Amino acid sequence: MSKGAKQERSEEPSVVMERLNWQLAWRDDARVAQALYAGEELEEMHELSEAGLLDEFFVFLEEVGMMAVLEQMQLPGVQRVLVPTVQFLLLYLLKVLFGGQSMNELPRWLFSNVALMELVGFNARQVAEGLTKRGDAQRTTKKKQGPLSPQCLADNISKLSPEQMERLFNQMVQCVVGLGLLDGERIAALDGSKLPTPPTFEGCGKLKQTRKVKVKGQKEPAIEEYYVYGWKVLVLIDVQTRLPLSMKVVTIEAYEGRWLVPLLEQAQRNLGTGGHIRTIVIDRGYLDGEDLWQVHSQGIIFVVIGKANMAVTQDAQALAKREHVQVRERVVRHGHGKTATQERLRTELVGIAGLTTYDSYGEPEQTRVMRIGAITKGSPSMQSWCEASTIERPPRTGRST
């Protein structure tokens, strides 16, 4: 390799720097010399390496109290500890921070990086030789990459129970709240995400789903049933800052609606006295009259996202055609490094008034008493129904007048 090629390669950002996607500084000796000659003082000096980038991040963890929380974690059922639990947690935290998709890629850009592993608590000898001599006799050509294997990290981090993860999550949120970032009235949003696992994963749930498949010799696709195994994580986030407020881990087939009120209550406990949830945005999966009445009783405004086939959505779109449209365009970046792409998004927002649509829901046999499950404006009769929590002999048309 030529000298020029070596110099060009040394100036390329590492895998860690690319995946962090942070704004990096660059070397400019001429400008630095000119500034020094002009008499400017050096306020700070920073090392432009992976460890230099993450050093301030670890200082932040210490200052807000997150490191102390991590140090208190213990793996359940483990008697002999070769690696402290906090080191497993920090390694997995770095994997998530760097955007790692697979455990098997960790030895190449994390476990074998001496500077980064020293930040986590390992020394250079452990990085070069590993923590044990296990498997050295069978090793012929491939050298060790780091103090432990990806499987070791995966096996140990998965021993944490859902209750431990929820408790750790809530403590982390409380540490962030101490910075004053979530004070005042907040708008929150709640949604769930499926986390598929192998069927052998201990304690996981099972969800039946359907999909269309092509059948040889048949024109129309057939419907096939299959099972998805795993968990579901429900996260309540602050809309403005995108910071999480509370979290619940349930099996993948669990009904999300039953956790609306508990997650709101946990989020308010995490916020303490500095912040208060004023509005929550949810989808139709949380549409339950009794739960929404509890939310309303706490002084929280709930907003249920409408779908295209709902009468309220169609009425809102009809009213929006007569109003002024506000347009926002922005460019969103996807991916990292050389494979990064940009997408231009255009958002049109219309504010409307006078929407009094009412939709009923429930089983057909529920004809005598029905829970309120809709937001309406401008209808005195609907307000009285909400205060009573029930509707006696609801309108058959399902539409307010």
User: Please, what is the average pLDDT of the chain?
Assistant: 79
End-to-end CA distance of the chain: 80
* Strand boundaries in 67-145, DSSP class E: none
389, two tokens = 């929590």
pLDDT for 27? 65
pLDDT tens for each residue of 186-217: 999 998 899 899 999 888 999 999 998 888 88
Highest mean pLDDT among 257-266, 337-346, 391-400: 257-266
Highest mean pLDDT among 118-127, 252-261, 368-377, 390-399: 252-261
pLDDT for 394? 37
> Which residue, chain included where needed, has tokens 């498997």?
135
Q: Look at residue 222 and give its three-state secondary structure.
A: strand
pLDDT tens for each residue of 304-348: 888 888 888 888 888 888 888 889 999 988 877 778 888 999 998
Closest CA to 20 of 98, 105, 120: 98
Q: Tell me the C-alpha distance between 305 and 274, whole Å.
A: 28
Instruction: Provide the residue type at 15 as one letter.
Output: V
φ, ψ for residue 365, nearest 5 deg: -75, -10
Q: Could you write out the three-class secondary structure of 158-217?
A: CCCCHHHHHHHHHHHHHHHHCCCCCCEEEEEEEEEEEEECCCCCCCCEEEEEEEEECCCC
pLDDT for 6? 42
Note whether 83 and 131 are within 8 A (CB): yes
pLDDT for 392? 39
Closest CA to 111 of 154, 146, 86, 157: 146
321, two tokens = 């055609």
pLDDT for 275? 92
- Domain 181-305: what homologous superfamily? Transposase Inhibitor Protein From Tn5; Chain A, domain 1 (3.90.350.10)
Note whether 20 and 53 are within 8 A (CB): yes
Q: Tell me the C-alpha distance between 291 and 166, whole Å.
A: 22
Q: What percent of the chain has pLDDT over 70?
A: 78
> Which residue, chain included where needed, has tokens 């923590």?
131
136, two tokens = 């050295």
252, two tokens = 């993948």
Q: Tell me the C-alpha distance between 337 and 15, whole Å.
A: 9
Q: Is the pLDDT of residue 93 over 50?
A: yes
Domain chopping of the chain, boundaries = 3-49, 52-157, 181-305
pLDDT for 138? 72
Q: Look at residue 36 and give its three-state secondary structure.
A: helix
pLDDT for 215? 86
Closest CA to 352 of 307, 322, 380: 322
Q: Tell me the C-alpha distance between 318 and 254, whole Å.
A: 37
| Close Cβ partners of 386 (under 8 Å, ≥ 6 residues apart) | 296, 372
pLDDT tens for each residue of 50-65: 666 677 888 888 998 9
Identify the band that residue 377 occupies on the pLDDT scale cut at 50, 70 and 90: very low
Q: What percent of the chain has pLDDT over 90?
A: 27
Note whether 128 and 147 are within 8 A (CB): no
Note whether 280 and 305 are within 8 A (CB): no
CA distances 342 to 43, 335, 350, Å, are 36, 9, 26
Q: Is the pLDDT of residue 71 over 80?
A: yes
| DSSP-assigned letter for residue 121 | T
Query: Could you tell me which residue, 360 or 329, shows the higher pLDDT?
Result: 329
Instruction: Provide the residue type at 384 as one letter.
Output: S
pLDDT for 18? 54
